[in-house]
Amino acid sequence: MDRAHRILKSVFGYSEFRHHQADVIAALLAGRDVLALMPTGGGKSLCYQIPALLREGTGIVVSPLIALMQDQVDALKQLGIRAAFLNSALGAADQRHTEAALLAGDLDILYVAPERLLTERMLDLLDRAPVALFAIDEAHCVAQWGHDFRKDYRQLYVLHERYPTVPRIALTATADPRTQVEVIEQLKLQEAAVFIDSFDRPNIHYTLSEGQNGREQLWRFLERTHPRDAGIVYCLSRKKVEDIALWLQAKGRAALPYHAGLADETRRLNQQRFLREEGLIMVATVAFGMGIDKPDVRFVAHLNLPKSIEAYYQETGRAGRDGARASAWMVYGLQDVITLRQFVQRTDAAEQFKRIAHHKLEAMLGLCELISCRRQALLAYFGETLGEPCGNCDNCTETPQTWDGTLAAQKAISCVYRTGQRFGINYAVNVLIGKDDERIRHNRHDQLNIFGIGVEHSAAEWRGIFRQIIARGYLDVELEGHGALMLTDKCRPLLRGEATLALRKPSLPKERKEKSGSKVPTLGTGDKTLFDALRAVRLDLARDHGVPPYVIFHDTTLQEMARTRPADLEQMHHISGVGELKLKRYGLRFIEEIAKYPWKRD
């Protein structure tokens, strides 16, 4: 472990381990298997990178992220680590060269996709190579109930059977208790040391709101909070992805689309631009994101409801990996609820899968309609208790207003019942507000005593009421046909007056009152000017070396330089994130830039 600490400082530029990193590394060095759950940005990679450098042989990293392997390898090479990958992007000559380096023991770390790893050719190659360890990244992909299920991951138990003396580490940032059990069972990790860190990302401010016209709400959010920042906007459909990307471009923001329907080369180029350019917005379906290492993503926005809390946590976790302030913002509507429920029911999956998917969606809806601390509920889902409200979510910074919606809910449910449980939301709303409508007259529903009994609310307000009572389980939506509303058993006590119902009042956009969960102090004006200059230097160096800017130094490292202003290499070496090789390569260039800015305090 003394050698591990020296490598941490000399190669990676950090003074101390975080979370359970030291314990994980010690277990691997002792030859034990490990299951490690750490939050996104918690330093999972160091847990296998340092043991791979210390143990004899090559560390084999099983990763589903072929599109990102090149950038991961480039980042390691910047640290002086002998890294490579084997995937379909390599030509035959490069593949032979990499295989020869593996057999000769000339690689510290090799990235391989699970599909390739499980081929007899690759396993035969590993039989003849010195292997230090196996790291199974994104291990939640093994869970067939999960949001990132990969069939090949369930075959990775072969590593335990074929190489019983080689330690394995399975890593993920997203695993509820059910998924943790499945990872252990499928990968045969029953004897593994298990390390579970907090799932909390205190630097992320969570905002979840209902409402119409999501794109205009998104624009107000961006203009108010992230006018020049890089971020990700998630949409449910490919068409919406392309529409929003074009709309943002027309509004003057640099934005690109990403979805599975685009050509492979287009996706690759768009992803590369997002990683290497600053201030760019990626508009994407969930096809984009897993394993994205870009540390300065300042916001993740959802224009549709995610299908589970795991998916929401995984996607929002791509914001603020550097520990600085970041936003997780979402707007959702009634149609999202209906669409996702219909999607679950219409799949060809087994009934057990449908039930689990339905429960996961209900948990996500519960998080949306919550009137207490979002973070407490989010962490509780993963089996973690947060003793006090976080102070850094919308419900904490602006206490939601509620009203007694019992009577309104009774009217809505009665309307659905009296019209025969054959119609959708818009029809029920029109009956309640007494709209002069040909269909209503044809069905003689204008003769019912519920016609026009809801004039105290507007049509938009009634749609919000229906969304909440559907989300709470008082009404269900027909999964075939036209989405007719139907009563559930839960509504009976409400109709009988044996229960009451508090509903959220619609919230208007307000200036965010944010508790800083950031690990980085706010820069003063003078320091901010220097920080921007250092970012420009970093960008020039990144272009010269053909790597993303964050591979040179993270924003947090540049911010520390701007605050402390090292005057020589000795002082620069004390900056977090400055290892010996980067100090040698880049140190003087940044010191020269810092010298141009006399130290003035605001």
Top-confidence residue, 472 or 585? 585
Q: What is the model's pLDDT at position 323?
A: 87
Q: What is the model's pLDDT at position 370?
A: 82
Phi, then psi, of 136 in degrees rounded to 5? -100, 95
**85 and 109 assigned to the same domain:** yes
Residue 91, Cβ density class (10 Å: 0-12 exposed, 13-18 middle, ≥19 buried): exposed
Percent composition of the chain: helix, strand, coil (DSSP 3-state, to 5): 45, 10, 40
Whether 514 is in a domain gets the answer no
Whether 511 is in a domain gets the answer no
Top-confidence residue, 464 or 432? 432
58-62, 483-487, 597-601, range with the lowest pLDDT: 597-601
Q: What is the model's pLDDT at position 170?
A: 95
The count of domains in the chain is 4
Q: What is the model's pLDDT at position 110?
A: 97
Please list, residue by residue across 413-441, b when 16 or more beta carbons sit within 10 angstroms of its beta carbon and e when fewer do. Answer: bbbbeebeeebbbebbbbbbbebeeeebe
Average predicted confidence (pLDDT) for the chain: 88
Mean pLDDT, rounded, for 217-238: 94
- Looking at the DSSP bridge assignments, the partners of residue 491 are none
Residue 175 DSSP symbol: -
Q: How far apart are CA 181 and CA 184, in angstroms?
A: 5
In this prediction the pTM is 0.77
Residue 199 has pLDDT above 60, yes or no: yes
**418 and 392 assigned to the same domain:** no
**387 and 270 assigned to the same domain:** yes
Residue 517: which pLDDT band, with cuts at 50, 70 and 90? very low
Looking at 397, 426, 450, which one is the last position of a domain? Answer: 397
373-377, 401-405, 461-465, 506-510, range with the lowest pLDDT: 506-510
Looking at 196, 216, 245, which one is the last position of a domain? Answer: 196
**535 and 449 assigned to the same domain:** no
Residue 151 has pLDDT above 90, yes or no: no
Residue 460: which pLDDT band, with cuts at 50, 70 and 90? confident
Mean pLDDT, rounded, for 593-601: 81
- Report the percent of the chain where pLDDT is more than 70: 94
Two tokens, residue 264: 């492979």
**322 and 413 assigned to the same domain:** no
- Report the percent of the chain where pLDDT is more than 90: 61
Whether 571 is in a domain gets the answer yes
Q: What is the model's pLDDT at position 144?
A: 66
Whether 466 is in a domain gets the answer yes
Q: What is the model's pLDDT at position 212?
A: 73
Q: The domain that contains 380 carries what CATH number?
A: 3.40.50.300
- Looking at the DSSP bridge assignments, the partners of residue 476 are 486
**25 and 40 assigned to the same domain:** yes
**317 and 244 assigned to the same domain:** yes
Whether 518 is in a domain gets the answer no
CB contact at 8 A, 418 and 522? no
80-89, 255-264, 332-341, 472-481, range with the lowest pLDDT: 472-481
Instruction: Kindly report, residue by residue over 524-578, the tens digit of the pLDDT.
Output: 777 889 999 999 999 999 999 988 899 999 998 999 999 999 999 999 999 999 9
- 58-62: strand order across its sheet: 83-86, 109-112, 58-62, 131-136, 168-172, 34-37, 193-196
Whether 8 is in a domain gets the answer yes
Containing structural domain, residue 472: 402-504
Mean pLDDT, rounded, for 428-445: 94
Whether 178 is in a domain gets the answer yes
**183 and 210 assigned to the same domain:** no
**489 and 535 assigned to the same domain:** no
Residue 40 has pLDDT above 90, yes or no: no
Least Cα distance to 143 among 194, 190, 179 occurs for: 179
Residue 392 has pLDDT above 90, yes or no: yes
Q: How far apart are CA 528 and CA 522, in angstroms?
A: 9
State the chain's maximal CA–CA distance in angstroms: 86
**210 and 191 assigned to the same domain:** no
Least Cα distance to 368 among 397, 327, 332 occurs for: 332
Q: What is the model's pLDDT at position 383?
A: 82
Residue 516: which pLDDT band, with cuts at 50, 70 and 90? very low
Two tokens, residue 381: 């889902």
Q: How far apart are CA 569 and CA 553, in angstroms?
A: 16
Residue 514 has pLDDT above 50, yes or no: no
Mean pLDDT, rounded, for 447-476: 87
Mean pLDDT, rounded, for 201-222: 91
Q: How far apart are CA 510 and CA 514, in angstroms?
A: 12
Q: The domain that contains 469 carries what CATH number?
A: 1.10.10.10
Looking at 369, 397, 425, which one is the last position of a domain? Answer: 397
Residue 126 has pLDDT above 50, yes or no: yes
Residue 602 has pLDDT above 60, yes or no: no
Mean pLDDT, rounded, for 440-461: 93
**532 and 499 assigned to the same domain:** no
Task: Say whether 588 sits in a helix, a strand or coil.
Answer: helix
Please list, residue by residue across 313-338, b when 16 or more beta carbons sit within 10 angstroms of its beta carbon and e when fewer do. Answer: bbbbbbbbbbbbbbbbbbbbbbebbb
CB contact at 8 A, 304 and 331? no
Whether 406 is in a domain gets the answer yes
**426 and 331 assigned to the same domain:** no
Residue 511 has pLDDT above 70, yes or no: no
Q: How far apart are CA 24 and CA 38, in angstroms?
A: 11
Residue 298 has pLDDT above 80, yes or no: yes
Residue 244 has pLDDT above 90, yes or no: yes
Three-state SS across 493-510?
HHHCCCCCCEEECCCCCC
Q: What is the model's pLDDT at position 600?
A: 60
